[in-house]
Structure formats: structure tokens, C-alpha cells
Amino acid sequence: MLAKPQTVDSYLAGLPEERREALQVVRQTILKNLHQGYQEGIQYGMIGYYVPHAIYPSGYHADPQQPLPFAGLASQKNHMAIYLMSVYGDPDLGHWFRDAWVKAGKRLDMGKSCVRFKAIEAVPLEVVAETIRRVPVSRFIEQYEASRSSTSSAKRKVATKRALSARKTSPKRSASKGGEKKRVRRKKSKGSA
């Protein structure tokens, strides 16, 4: 098993030339437009751009040991990818991003935050640049915390609804001889459907 790269340079050095060159172009676009406060490094086995613990000590909720991820750049088995967490977390930015990508005349192959591409020619670099420019660190942290609180609130609401629903839909029971519980069946009247 190959050792995971510990630096951006070692990550790039381990790639085939065509992919290394493509990722370098996207990387330079990100770095030229990245607001002060974000850092670049290896995160989750790929090139990551993140809010360091010095600025956001809580880190990423899924793994507080990790700094808060903002963007990523990776070479996957069948494609290269740009991960844009701000696009995933901000519906308005997400709509703008999708529209701008398509208006640039490029085909968009996107998951929630992952934009897949096979060649640098498929990436409208000006759209990537503007997306990065639109999100200073303070805005990203606000967006992240708002999404976390709304997610927590939504989970509580769902749990409450399920609990109430379970109470309403649980079968009626009554005690029978011997202390056992038995379902009480309601008889349908002939006039009801």
C-alpha cells in the first residue's frame, strides 16, 4: 500500500503529468482568489483549503480534529474533482454557480459539492475564481454554523414528529384474561368505507 502524501507538492508529484498539470491550473486559480485566513494543505487525502483551528477552534463537526473544510481538489480514479462546500451549504451561491458554469458553455457534472471533470478545458476557471472570491472566511463560518443549527433543529423536529406519529399509529391494546395484552379491533360499520 502506498503512503498517503503529507504535502501538496508530494500529492501533485504522485500524479500522472496530464492530471498534475490540470490540477495545478485549478490550484493556482484557487490560490489567487482565496481570502486571507484560509490555509492550503492535505485534508482527507486530497489538496484541501480550510479554516484552521486558530480561527475556528471547533473544527469540522464530523471530525473536530480536522479544520473546517472549505474546498478541495483531487484526482480520483475516473476523474478529477473540485469540492466546493460553500456551494453545497449556500443555496443562493449554489444556484449562481450552476447557472454561471452552464452560461460559460461547459457541461456541469456535479454532486452536492463535487464538480467532476476529465480535462482542464472542461473547467470555466473564471467561475471557479469568482466562487472562491465570493466567500470570505467570516461568511463561510456564519454559513456553516447556520447550516449546523438548522440541521440540528430539523433533526429535532423530525424526531418529535416521529414520536408523535408513533403514538398516534400504535395499535390500541386492552388487557385480556391472564394479564396479556390483546389488540382491540374496531368493527367497521356497514355504512363506512
Amino acid at 85: M
pLDDT of residue 45: 95
Cell of 74: 483531487
pLDDT of residue 3: 77
Q: What is the pTM of this model?
A: 0.76
Coil, helix or strand for 180? coil
pLDDT of residue 1: 44
Domains of the chain: 8-140 (3.90.1150.200)
Rounded to whole angstroms, how far apart are CA atoms 22 and 160? 49
Residue with grid cell 471530525, as numbered in its chain: 63
Name the DSSP class of 179: G
pLDDT in tens, the chain (193 residues): 467 899 999 999 999 999 999 999 999 999 999 999 999 999 999 999 999 999 999 999 999 999 999 999 999 999 999 999 999 999 999 999 999 999 999 999 999 999 999 999 999 999 999 999 999 999 999 999 998 887 655 556 555 656 666 666 555 554 555 555 555 555 555 555 5
Amino acid at 155: K
Rounded to whole angstroms, how far apart are CA atoms 157 and 70? 28
Amino acid at 123: V
pLDDT of residue 69: 97
